[in-house]
Structure 1
Amino acid sequence: MLQLSQVDPFDDTAVDLWWEIYAAAERADRGAHTAVWTRDESRHELRQQTDTVERRAYLALFDGEVVASARLALPLRDNLRTASLGVHVAPQRRRRGTGTAVLSAIEAAARDAGRSILKSSASWPYAAGDDGAGIPGREFARRHGYTLALGDVQSRLRLPIDADLLDGLEAEAAARSAAYRLRSWIGSAPSDVVHGWAELDAAVETEAPVGDLDIEPSAVDVAEIRANEALLAQQNRRSYGTVALDAEGRVVAHTQLVVSGDDGNAYQWGTLVRSEARGHRLGMSVKIANLRMLQEYASDVRSVYTYNAGVNRHMLDINRRLGFAPSERMGEFQKKL
């Protein structure tokens, strides 16, 4: 009989088992060298004490054997109708109904927490197309009532970038952005710009294309920014940030790269330009400045990964000009109970 138990985030043995199933399932689906969250990155996120989200991890056992792991995230401040979940079945235990049983239990936990909108994701090769038809993870979602709400493109930039390419793009952008100045840093956002940074960080999810996803705007919260910066330090990650400031010193654009100290890759997090400041090549400007800083202070990083909505042609074009190449697709799925 299948048994589902919640993982104590301070039980290293249980967390290790949970992570090992997750990593094995991801690599079985996406390739042996696919980038996944590391063991310690996952462990510290589970242990984070926060007022904005409750994170749960689960192990599924059958006759004493661990056969699957799952996760559930419950927002506590915004989007209180939603829950994000994931189910990972050990590769050798698939096609026996394990995933369906675990998903049913996780959905019940979300329902008991008062949630009526469930979200999850699945990845597939870029060549498989927008819909991912026939891909196991995508078909599993479809069979269980999850609709494809937004299709994303994962892109990869191999470093180092040719200096002449950056110089040319920077000169082109500078001709349109002379009225703004850039500011960059490594680590925590400086106190005099952190509120503006928090404003853009909160707006990323709703300002960027969201497709059919049901998402409410997030509150601006400097304390949450500081809490997440502390988490990054615990995870052995390092943040690289750049903002564009207008003549009054207001933050009008931002971008962030996060380097994993364990897997050696950099990951593009949010990039956003305020609507009233668009048309001045600020998106390109802040990304170039951040990439230059990354190459100067983290010269061992060899790849940058990013995700963009497939319909976000503007940002995809910026990334293409910088040298990013499509590497995978990800579907964001939604189910309303």
Structure 2
Amino acid sequence: MNLTQRARGIIRAIAVTLALALPLMSAISPADARIGGGFSSGSRGARTFSAPPSTSTAPGTAQPFNRTITQPGSPGLGAPATAGGGFFNSPGRSMLGGLAAGFLGAGLFGMLFGGGMFGGLGGLSSIFGLILQIGLIVIVVRMAMSWWQRRHETAFAGAAAGPGAATSFRAATGFGLGSGSAPLEVVPADYEAFERLLSDTQAAWSNEDIAKLHTLATPEMVSYFTGDLQANRARNVVNKVSGTKLLQGDLAEAWREGDTDYASVAMRFSMIDKTIDRTSGRLVEGSETPTEATEVWTFVRPRGANWEVSAIQQT
């Protein structure tokens, strides 16, 4: 193998790496340091292994639980939920993801069989053309995805603006009323409690106040929070979350099991999420710039008691 052939092989290897890495980088968000650590944790009673229905706020599928004390074989539990979410799997995005994957697959096929990534990469300069083409595909796909989500949110808002308080309630609290056919009635005071729990739980986590967390979440969730805080201490860092603000929320489902009420709610919220060195105060991760997250939180209450956080699922 002469030098030219070797250089061409190196260029092709770089092209393959870039072609695989760039779309994935655009699809995968950075690790989350906020409460829950970016995991899906907790229990949803008999529906722990059934994915909550999608909503306008979270049109994709909530991720199955990474951490739960509920056993899959428990009586009355549904079948394990299939893995969902992600760039190529979310409902409404599968066609767009398939299009991007098609471009990528066609390019790799051509390159591996001598035709170039997109019809003849012959030198180093064509690598930049490859990067540009991939970037344009990502931009087009993201624009189409954004249009798709706005279209569904508009349709939902029109459907929810029926009799009475639905529209004004969304404006007042950030929550839509979700499905009116839920077996358990969820009233405006409940939505206010959900929003308050979102902020209070983040604040207690940021202050490492385990005693406060015990008043806001189930013992199972507190055990996960405690383990995550201990892991932070082992790294000599502390995660500070501030300015939590609910932007939009929808009821996914609400139901009753015996004397226990459950409600799963999709929430999109903003916050300042940063991790600092415990000793020096130096910024380790995150920034002062607010970021957004969308999660499905499940709340539980014994009849007549207050709501508590029972589960947090990523979307």
Q: TM-score range by the shorter chain?
A: under 0.3
TM-score normalised according to structure 2 size: 0.26
Indicate the structure (1 or 2) with the bigger Cα radius of gyration.
Answer: 2
**Which structure is higher in strand share?**
1
